[in-house]
Amino acid sequence: MTQLTPITFHEIDIEAIATATGRVVVFADTDGKLDTGARRVNKLMRGALLRLIESDRFEQMKAGDAVTLAFPVGMAAEAVDIVRLPRNADQTQARAAGASLAKLRGQVDVLVMAGAVRRIAEVAYGFAMRDYAFEDHKTSAKPRAGEVRVMCGKVDEVQAAAAPLMAIAEGAFMTRDLTNAPANVLTTTTFAEQLAEMSALGLKVEVLEEADLEKLGMGSLLCVGQGSASPSKVVVMQWNGGAKDAKPLALIGKGVVFDTGGISIKPAAGMEDMTMDMGGAGVVSGVMRSLALRGAKANVVGLVGLVENMPSSTAVRPGDVVTSMKGDTIEVINTDAEGRLVLCDVMWYAQDRFAPAAMIDLATLTGAIIIGLGHDNAGVFSNNDVLCNAFLKAAQTEGEGAWRMPLGQCYDDLLKSRIADMKNVGGRAAGSITAAQFLQRFVKGDTPWIHLDIAGVASVKSETALAPVGATGWGVAALNRLVSDMYETE
């Protein structure tokens, strides 16, 4: 797994500035006031720092932006990075500042003089999240080098604030690594093996094999992978950090390690991106890692259905009828609408076994949600306003875009089948909504439920605020916050 750049916190030592190698960071706002560290840097640089702060260039910078003065006079560092950040900066601005610095870092050490910064833990989180590169398969890649030393006041308080944020970042890194990995490396088997390794963190991990799934009656899930040589699996991860009698929150992830579309095969152009069709399972895995690392006082169970959707002589065909674990029959109209066939059985199993307090499923489910919301927001579907509003608030707080979409009987009616209990698609119109309606048929009674269609946000072609091009890790921070807000016990 890609490792976070080491970030440590220390008491302020202005004598270290002159001899620090790599990069030195100071913060300033347009009021021209410099803290102790910045004043020392300005003195060493013979006033160059103050001239920059008083310039039009600095005035035009946004909060969180950074500018570099290379090879400063009087210092051993190769560069000084100056960040424009108000003393009352909010969380978003502080994280943006960290991300700006991460993009400048390269592979060298960084000394951050953060004496006057109030949200230094958030700056460190933004730095950690953006300082990511997936280079597992580049022969020219070098081992990641360099560390970040942050000098600040109240070191113990800053460390305490930063620790859970670093746990979130590590979970997001796991999600990104899984989502970025090619399908010949991340098979259903290697995926399950990586999750099993998290038992070392205190998670209880079980891997259900095909024989187990057959006994459970998961005909819907199993039909998706029956055309592949890779065995289908369900991995169950339990974190029991809350009260013994507290029902768990269940997180369900779609883990299609590669999606050709099956017999309803996709066009060749862009099919290489279907390595990310396990993004929902990647998010669930990252969240469970974060919860374990920070010792969350909550009961959460994460379940992921791992399959590969391939065309072959044994693949499920359009027109086939399969039977779900619930017992409902499904007419498979389109084998490329496979994610819902995986999720519905895992959702039913989760409710049967754990009787969860609430259930949230995540999936790169439909291209239709990208048409509707683009790459800035995930689609949110829910049967419960309280749970849905809590998630939307958590996502907004974490800067992860999410937008609620409708559900209704008129959409559900589009799933009627002539020969089975339902079809797996409802036609071209409202495709993301009918997919959610399909899943809602497998929600028991009044179980609070959210479906997150993350097809547009799991992996992107341009960088985001806290991630480079590729897998984003969207959802790890928001779901972690939801757990903290709603399900943690004292």
pLDDT of residue 358: 98
Determine contact, residues 169/258, Cβ cutoff 8 Å: no
Domain identity same for 196 and 262: yes
Burial of 61 (0-12, 13-18, 19+ CB in 10 A): middle
Rounded Cα distance, 399 and 458, in Å: 14
Domain identity same for 222 and 307: yes
Domain end among 100, 123, 153: 153
396's CB contacts (< 8 A; 6+ apart) are 402
Structure tokens at 327: 């017992």
22 in any annotated domain: yes
CATH code assigned at 259: 3.40.630.10
The total number of residues written for the chain in this structure: 490
Q: What total number of domains does the chain contain?
A: 2
Domain end among 123, 153, 183: 153
315 in any annotated domain: yes
Rounded Cα distance, 243 and 303, in Å: 20
1 in any annotated domain: no
| Residue of 207, 204, 198, 203 lying closest to 231 (CA atoms) | 207
Domain identity same for 149 and 175: no
pLDDT of residue 144: 80
Domain identity same for 115 and 182: no
| Residue of 273, 449, 253 lying closest to 375 (CA atoms) | 273
Domain end among 129, 153, 177: 153
Residues carrying an active site annotation? 266, 340
Domain identity same for 211 and 291: yes
The string of DSSP codes covering 421-471 is: SEES---STTHHHHHHHHHHTTS-TT--EEEEE-TTTSEESS--SS--SEE
- Helix intervals (H) in 181-278: 188-196, 210-216, 219-225
Domain identity same for 149 and 185: no
- E-only strand ranges, 11-127: 23-28, 66-70, 79-84, 110-113
27's CB contacts (< 8 A; 6+ apart) are 35, 38, 82, 83, 84, 85, 97, 113, 114, 116, 117
Number of helices (H), then strands (E), belonging to the chain: the values are: 16, 19
162 in any annotated domain: no
**Cα 235 → chain centroid:** 18
pLDDT of residue 490: 67
Structure tokens at 216: 């459970």
How far apart, in Å, do the first and last CA atoms of the chain sit? 32
Burial of 269 (0-12, 13-18, 19+ CB in 10 A): exposed
pLDDT of residue 35: 87
pLDDT of residue 287: 98
Rounded Cα distance, 131 and 169, in Å: 10
456 in any annotated domain: yes
Angle, vertex CA 460, rays to CA 100 and CA 130, nearest 5: 25
Rounded Cα distance, 42 and 25, in Å: 12
Determine contact, residues 13/137, Cβ cutoff 8 Å: no
Domain identity same for 201 and 339: yes
164 in any annotated domain: no
What is the crossing angle of helices 120-130 and 155-180, to 10°? 20
Sheet holding 66-70, edge to edge: 7-10, 148-151, 110-113, 23-28, 79-84, 66-70
2 in any annotated domain: no
pTM of the model: 0.96
Domain identity same for 130 and 185: no
Domain identity same for 309 and 392: yes
CATH code assigned at 149: 3.40.220.10
Residue 22: which region, alpha, beta or left (left: phi > 0; alpha: psi -120 to 50)? left
Q: Which domain holds residue 68?
A: 7-153
The one-digit pLDDT tens for each residue of the chain (490 residues) are 899 999 999 999 999 999 999 999 999 987 777 889 999 999 999 999 999 999 999 999 999 999 999 999 999 999 999 999 998 899 999 999 999 999 999 999 999 999 889 999 999 999 999 999 999 999 888 888 899 999 999 999 999 999 999 999 999 999 999 999 999 999 999 999 999 999 999 999 999 999 999 999 999 999 999 999 999 999 999 999 999 999 999 999 999 999 999 999 999 999 999 999 999 999 999 999 999 999 999 999 999 999 999 999 999 999 999 999 999 999 999 999 999 999 999 999 999 999 999 999 999 999 999 999 999 999 999 999 999 999 999 999 999 999 999 999 999 999 999 999 999 999 999 999 999 999 999 999 999 999 999 999 999 999 999 999 999 999 999 999 999 999 997 6
Structure tokens at 139: 């022969």
Q: Are strands 204-208 and 378-382 parallel, antiparallel or unpaired?
A: unpaired
Rounded Cα distance, 475 and 485, in Å: 15
Domain identity same for 71 and 188: no
Domain identity same for 15 and 112: yes
123 in any annotated domain: yes
Angle, vertex CA 285, rays to CA 281 and CA 289, nearest 5: 170
Domain identity same for 452 and 347: yes
